[in-house]
A and B are shown apart, each in its own frame.
Chain A
């Protein structure tokens, strides 16, 4: 390939990365400029332009995709300010999904044969690792939308002061949430009540006996993690009641909420690992899946809350003066 062919190839690679309307004109100008640059170099070196000289010029000019990008306004999908948050959310989310996948596909370990292990590995690969790519995709769309909104309405992204540790927002909303928590606790005391309320109340008939069995707690659960977990769930009602009366999260309430959340997560893990919760296998699997989901989300929320805590103090050990 001679110098001229090299320039033609390079210009073509740059131009194909540009919008169609701009392509030909930029290509014509770029080729003329590169030829002029090459001629000047050749005159400076006191010899005819050759392929090596052209290659040196084009390498210094930059990779065609980078050069094409310089011809256009910068396109930012995710704001640089969001880069760390995006990476953190991606890694934490993938960690949770992969962890849940490991538990789900390798819960029957130790395996009886290598084929069984490879089968589980294959399932983990396809159903968890490959399938988990939806999470970064969702994050890209979310962060890109936030970035676009901030650029479209810069005032909407202005910083606004927060009251105290964290405002609770609408008190009416919080009151409804407490009522919801109390109702949820009531249902959890004996889930069979739901069947009576629906079938007995509306149609005057009883649900099938198997439905009652499905929603009956096992003895093991009732004598193990059950009462503790129920107490932790019930504790939400006075807790949020205190926030409602107080009007905001105080530092003490905030710390107590974190501790309560951590204990609840541990109790949920105990309940999942400590044998069946409900008497039928299908209902038990469903209940455990829900507990794992709620537990994972609570844990993620807790980790984020702890990470967001700031206690201003000088880091004397990190000072670099002297």
Chain B
């Protein structure tokens, strides 16, 4: 396995969990799929559309998001936002992420 293959494989594993947290973090206010993808990309977290759009439905079926169809300026769009359980989970995950981030920073500095 070349360095590039190893990097992309491990990096994609690292990203997998981060994608969920990043998505939840941007749904404190209601957003529809394309708008959410743009918001994430603008903040340095591009997520493939084929990953993000199904993820929204999965998070909704897990009881973390609420959604509704809205007709504003343009075609009907389905807006997603955190529900009460989603907000609680985001808080816990964010704390866990901060702890892990601090630990990893220390570990990587030691080298």
Beta-carbon contact of A70 and B61 below 8 Å: no
| Nearest chain B residue, comparing its CB with the CB of A68 | B54
Report the count of interface residues on B (CB-CB < 8 A): 16
Interface string of B25-57 (1 = CB under 8 A from A): 000000001100000000000001111011101
Quick one: which of B51, B57, B61, B77 has the most chain A CB within 10 A?
B57
Beta-carbon contact of A26 and B75 below 8 Å: no
Residues of B within 8 A of A62 (CB): 50
Beta-carbon contact of B78 and A67 below 8 Å: no
Interface positions of A from 9 to 32, Cβ below 8 Å from B? 22, 26, 28-30, 32
Interface string of B61-81 (1 = CB under 8 A from A): 100000000000001111000
User: B58 within 8 Å of A by Cβ?
Assistant: yes
Report whether over half of chain B's contact residues are helix, strand or loop; otherwise say mixed: helix
| Cα(A19)–Cα(B8), bound, Å | 33
Report whether over half of chain A's contact residues are helix, strand or loop; otherwise say mixed: helix
| Cα(A41)–Cα(B77), bound, Å | 19
Beta-carbon contact of B75 and A60 below 8 Å: no
User: A189 within 8 Å of B by Cβ?
Assistant: no
| Cα(A119)–Cα(B51), bound, Å | 54
8 interchain residue pairs of minimum CB distance: A70-B54, A61-B50, A62-B50, A71-B54, A36-B34, A33-B33, A29-B78, A71-B57
**What is B's interface to A at a CB cutoff of 8 Å?**
33-34, 48-51, 53-55, 57-58, 61, 75-78
